[in-house]
Amino acid sequence: MRAVSAAKSFLLSRWYREVPLRTVFWRDMIGVATALNILTGLAGIVLLVSGFPVVIALSVHFGLLPWNIFLFLAVWRGADRIAPSDALVVRTLAAVWLVAMVVI
């Protein structure tokens, strides 16, 4: 039960902009999520090459898509609190990142 509460707190703190945008963007999105996306992308390729059904390989590959969308939206919402010119840059980078993670 404690893990569920911690996960809920983690998600809500990002959604309600309680965590600095810098942390959500650089650590959560660029650092952790990018590493996880690379790992799941490689795992999907390994499964496909190993003869697993394509549906399973694609499920692994796209398994983090909801998480990626959540982080994108959290960054997008967090950019409301910074200068408009900086917000444009952050939102553009987040959108490019999201597209790149879908492709990876």
Taking the whole predicted model, whether its pTM rises above 0.75 is answered as yes
In the chain, the number of structural domains is 1
- 93 φ/ψ angles, rounded to the nearest 5 degrees: -65, -40
Indicate the SS3 state at residue 76: helix
Q: Which residues contact 14 (CB under 8 A, 6 or more apart)?
A: 24, 28, 70, 71, 74, 78
- Domain that includes residue 45, residue range: 2-103
What pLDDT digit, counting tens, does each position of 11-64 carry? 999 999 999 999 999 999 999 999 999 999 999 999 999 999 999 999 999 999
